[in-house]
Amino acid sequence: MRKTEFAIVGAGPAGLSAAIEAARAGVKVVLADENQRPGGQLFKQIHKFFGSEAHHAGARGIDIGTMLLQQVSQQKNVEIMLDSVVWGIFRANPGHTLGVIHNSKNIHLKARKVLLATGATENVLAFPGWTLAGVMGAGAIQTLVNVHRVLPGKRVLMVGSGNVGLIVSYQLLQAGAEVVAIVEALPKIGGYAVHASKVARTGVPILTSTTVKEVHGKGKVEKAVLVQIDENWQPLTGTERELEVDVVCLACGLSPLAELAWITGCKFTDVPELGGHVPIHNENMETTVSGIYVAGDLAGIEEASTAIEEGRLVGIAVAEALGYLAAGEAKDKKTEISNRAEQLREGPFGITRKQAKEQLIRRSLSE
Partner 1 sequence: MRVEEHPILGKLQKAPAVEIEVDGQVIQARAGEPIAAALLAAGKHIFRYTRKDHQPRGVFCAIGQCTDCMMIVDGVPNVRTCVTPVKPGMKIQTQHGLGKLRSTSVEKD
Q: Could you list the residues that contact partner 1 (CB under 8 A)?
A: 1, 34-36, 41, 46, 60, 101, 104-108, 121-122, 131-137, 139-141, 143-146, 148-152, 154, 174-176, 219-220, 257
* 135/227 with CB nearer partner 1: 135
- In this structure, which long-range contacts are made by residues 239-244, counting pairs with CB atoms below 8 Å and at least 24 apart in sequence? 240/213, 243/157, 243/180, 243/181, 244/155, 244/180
Q: Report the distance separating Cα 145 and Cα 174, nearest Å.
A: 10
Q: Are 342 and 283 in contact (CB under 8 A)?
A: no
Beta bridge partners of residue 279, listed in sequence order:
268
Q: How far is CA 364 from the centre of its chain?
A: 23
The minimum distance between CB 186 and partner 1, in angstroms, equals 24
* 139/190 with CB nearer partner 1: 139
The minimum distance between CB 141 and partner 1, in angstroms, equals 8
Q: What are phi and psi of 145, to 5 degrees?
A: -80, -50
Which of 137, 176, 140 lies closest to 155, judged by CA? 176
Q: What are phi and psi of 201, to 5 degrees?
A: -60, -30
The minimum distance between CB 247 and partner 1, in angstroms, equals 10
The minimum distance between CB 236 and partner 1, in angstroms, equals 30
Positive/negative CA dihedral, 74, 78, 82, 86: negative
Which of 317, 314, 312 lies closest to 54, judged by CA? 312
Q: Report the distance separating Cα 330 and Cα 349, nearest Å.
A: 30
* 63/79 with CB nearer partner 1: 63
* 27/164 with CB nearer partner 1: 164
3-state SS, residue 12: coil
Q: What are phi and psi of 5, to 5 degrees?
A: -85, -40
The minimum distance between CB 288 and partner 1, in angstroms, equals 25
The minimum distance between CB 139 and partner 1, in angstroms, equals 7
* 141/318 with CB nearer partner 1: 141
* 122/283 with CB nearer partner 1: 122
The minimum distance between CB 260 and partner 1, in angstroms, equals 13
* 134/165 with CB nearer partner 1: 134
